A and B are shown apart, each in its own frame.
Chain A
């Protein structure tokens, strides 16, 4: 027992030294990468709710609610659309009545984008699953081809798609670009355009 504890002591001391040595080295793994922030913390630890408030401790911890939902790498770490489509959750379409179901509109809008990014496909189906037409038309988007100017900069500042995407719907991160930019351009299309001077 005594020998074991000495061994553990020596192992832990050498462990501390090796850690110190690796932190000292210029060639640490993932040198500039920020450590990942912990996700889905209980309200009292999330830095937004007041832990001195009694009501804070009555709130459901997100982890408890998200248990069993389809996971994602972004936002709440939940893929909300897949969670609905796989019946993990069934959100109501009416405040007081569970019966009404949304009317799904099946129409994809393709937006040709400048540069080399794949074109954007806007799927009406999953948007009408959650929203009413009046939420977007005509306040945010004019329902007419070519009538809506948008840019990633404006979206990131909370305009057009950014009204929701970046606030509550999936955010704009390096792992979400291709959720919208999902239609690859025809082969050589980018090259042809740049040759033509467009």
Chain B
């Protein structure tokens, strides 16, 4: 009986330890967007977009109305070719408003294999779509 109780106690401690460790795994900033539509296939790290950094500097409408970024992780078919042409990120990341695109690994900084996602509610699967 005593052994049973001790085993149960040990189990509880082990489980609580695991639950303590589990949320430590990914503590990225709320609103961080991982964009991995094409990166993995091109053997690049996925791009990570920090919403917090950009919203300190710009209102939402600058990107989501003026530049045409659709709401939803992965819903914009962003390619390096388009960025070089001045679309999407390239509208600012051109060496004039923000640093230009030769700093590949500043954006392409995610852990390889991380799927396209928004760091927020775990229920947001509907917001993630692969481009057609």
Q: Which residues of A contact B (CB under 8 A)?
A: 23-24, 34-35, 37-41, 43, 45-50, 53-56, 58-60, 62, 65-66, 74-76, 78, 80, 89, 91-96, 102, 129-132, 134-135, 156-159, 162-164, 166-168, 171-172
* CB of B80 within 8 Å of the partner chain: no
| Chain B residues within an 8 Å CB radius of A94 | 62, 66
**Alpha-carbon separation in the docked complex, A45 to B29 (Å):** 11
Q: Decide if the interface of chain A is mainly helix, strand, loop or mixed.
A: loop
Given A37-B24, A47-B28, A48-B26, the answer on whether A95 and B66 have CB atoms closer than 8 Å is yes
Q: Which of B20, B32, B120 meets A48, CB within 8 Å? A: B32
Number of A-B contacts (CB under 8 A): 170
| Chain B residues within an 8 Å CB radius of A76 | 29-31, 52
Q: Are B24 and A172 in contact (CB under 8 A)?
A: no
User: Nearest-CB distance from A134 to chain B (Å)?
Assistant: 6
23-71 of chain B: CB within 8 A of chain A: 23-32, 34, 45, 48, 50-53, 55-62, 64-67, 71
Q: Which residues of B contact A (CB under 8 A)?
A: 9, 13, 19-20, 23-32, 34, 45, 48, 50-53, 55-62, 64-67, 71-73, 91-92, 96-97, 103-112, 114, 118-121, 123-127
User: Nearest-CB distance from A166 to chain B (Å)?
Assistant: 4
Q: Are B60 and A92 in contact (CB under 8 A)?
A: no
B61 closest partner in A (C-beta) = A132
**Alpha-carbon separation in the docked complex, A40 to B28 (Å):** 7
| Chain A residues within an 8 Å CB radius of B73 | 167
Q: Are B57 and A92 in contact (CB under 8 A)?
A: yes
**Alpha-carbon separation in the docked complex, A24 to B2 (Å):** 13
Q: Are B25 and A93 in contact (CB under 8 A)?
A: no
A75 closest partner in B (C-beta) = B30
| Chain B residues within an 8 Å CB radius of A54 | 105
